[in-house]
Chain A
Amino acid sequence: MKHFKLGFEKRRSLYGYGFISVWFIGAVIFFIIPLVQSFIYSFYDIKPDVGGMTGEFVGLEKYNYALNEDANYRSYLFSVLKETFWKTPLIMIFSLFIAVVLNQKFRGRTFARAIFFLPAIIATGPVYSIISGNMASTGSSGSDSFSTMFSSDLFGKLMYFLGIYDISETVTKAVEAVENDVFGIVWNAGIQILMFMAALQNIPSSSREAAIIEGATEWEYFWKITFPSVSPMILACFIFTVIDSFTDPKNAVMIRIGTMQIDWKYGEASAMAWIYFAIVLASVGVISLIINKFIYYEVE
């Protein structure tokens, strides 16, 4: 009996290798080897040559250059980190809220959904950056009139009306930062909304009926049923949001790395990238461990 059990476990683990084998071979060829190569490049003075790259070993010189000599790298690094850390929770709360709203039944729901997923389809491509560039260059007819009409004035007045205008300097500043960037948040939340909606749809409708019969309020239903059910997606969503903002080709650090590559300073570019990713990796790892403690899985 014991023998059979061991054999079964062993067979299962072999099947596990079977399922991931194709991916593993691909990952070695298309991911690990290039990654190691790029790590090696960061210690070399690299030049392209027939059949590959050639160069000489220079040790940590490129890292020293990135951190101490390059004029902009450090300040870019700090600004990108700061922006990511305050934007990520906002994007996640916003997208969970919208996903819950769009999951309710109301007239015109399909239409509303179609609109809210639009950024997910357009934002990653060249289209959105071209349009926003053009809007900025035509000035008055574009984004200016939009912002006076929508963000600062209207929102400020609403806060004043509600009597929560001048609580403190920091609150006002934080609110202003958010309202000025409402565009950035809404346009970056498309895929997260989609992810949360997919998770919400996997909640069986019987649990809702049971909750209503037991007399649960909407609020209780959200915290006791909805939130635990989508909690595995929260981790995925968190990682996606952070990475999306870190690896965005439009952020300052990536642009700096890109220009270094165009100048064929590939050693410097690799060193900068590796410093950047050491920081990203460490912070994502720590926060994921914390979030993982609060996730509810159907099966442990």
Chain B
Amino acid sequence: MERSSMTFWRRFRLNDIMWRIFRFFILFGLSFIILYPLIYMISRAFSAPEDMNDPTVVWIPKHLTLSVIKETMEVMDYWNTLFNTLILNIGCCIVQVISCAITGYGFARFRFKFRGVLFGIVIMMILVPVQIIAIPQYMIFRYFGPFNLINNPLCMYLPAAMGCGIKSGIMIFIFRQSFRGLPKEFEDAAYLDGCGPFRAFWSVLVPNVKSSILTVFLFSVVWYWNDFYVSSTFFDKNQTIALSLKNLNTLLSQTLFDGANVSVREQIVWLEAGCLLSVVPILIMYIFLQKHFTEGIERSGLAG
């Protein structure tokens, strides 16, 4: 008995050490794959255009410079665009998360006629890409009763508030799955204590799916930030960061180069600077949320 437990522990420790080494190599290698394009981006954003024609420069630029980034900021009208994007982004995400959570709960916990058919619509919303419905949607906002809502932020806010924003379908789906995973006793207890369904939803169920809410909110922020297709349908001007990055090529040749001949290789410097500028704000936001996310994990672990 004693001996077998000794061998068990020895094997256990050996396995443990092997696993640690294996884990380290896996994580290190994959991290490298992920970071490779980003290292490339940073390296190019800080180099001067002439470095692109120098074969001896591989990663570290010879002429370290900030002027390219400054020029790109001017071309993109960076601070104004950033402010516009943040207002649009955060507003849409908050209303979208709320509307999707309510809808997901309705689908998870109530039996009603046509539930299957209505949930089929949610699945369709996941399946159908925006490209298909973009032009009819444009027509709806162009002739929205007596109004022309094109170029008005309302044409992003309205669908988001009604649970039909960018990728709302998948969010409703995630909320439904996580509400279904909760034990039914939660609500029964709340009902016995005299709560109505809305109160039970708000004060009992919502606090229990906090980690799902944070995940969905993170998705939502990211998707709205990265979207250029929907906003290019509804906006004529470059009102968001993703849109002005997508059109950075044209913007650069219109304003900065002004007819001067800049080779494709040299243009990479400005393009990568634009990429860096549009990634940095979302990265800062992400680091901030990441911290909350890990805290949420440990709290739910303790609660369980």
Contact = CB atoms under 8 A, between A and B. Distances in A.
Nearest to A198: B215
B275 A130 contact: yes
A191 B197 contact: no
Given A24-B118, A104-B23, 20 more contacts: A12-B111, A16-B110, A18-B197, A19-B102, A19-B201, A26-B161, A30-B158, A31-B121, A33-B140, A37-B139, A52-B139, A53-B139, A116-B30, A120-B219, A125-B225, A125-B226, A126-B242, A202-B300, A233-B177, A246-B129
Contacts of A146: 36
B127 A284 contact: yes
B196 to A, nearest CB: 8
Nearest to B121: A27
Q: How large is the interface on B (under 10, 10 to 19, 20 to 34, 35 or more residues)?
A: 35 or more
Given A116-B30, A125-B228, A201-B300, A15 B137 contact: no
18 contacts: A12-B197, A13-B110, A13-B111, A17-B112, A18-B198, A27-B162, A101-B27, A106-B20, A124-B223, A128-B37, A130-B274, A137-B265, A150-B32, A198-B211, A201-B301, A235-B177, A246-B127, A298-B182
Contacts of B164: 23, 26-27, 29-31
Given A101-B26, A204-B301, A19 B105 contact: yes
B299 to A, nearest CB: 10
Given A24-B118, A270-B132, A299-B183, A15 B27 contact: no
A113 interface: yes
A176 to B, nearest CB: 17
Contact of B222 (A124, A204, A266, A280): A124
Contact of B40 (A117, A124, A125, A142): A142
**Main DSSP-derived SS at the A contact region:** helix
B222 A110 contact: no
Contact of A118 (B38, B278, B302): B38
A126 B44 contact: no
Interface stretch (B61-69, B76-84, B250-258, B289-297): B289-297
Interface string B41-63: 10010000000100000100000
Nearest to A187: B34
Contacts of A34: 133, 136-137, 140
B290 A195 contact: no
A182 interface: yes
Interface stretch (A63-71, A81-89, A167-175, A253-261): A253-261
A93 interface: no
A137 B44 CA distance: 13
Contacts of A204: 301, 303-304
Contacts of B131: 247, 249, 254, 257-258, 261, 273
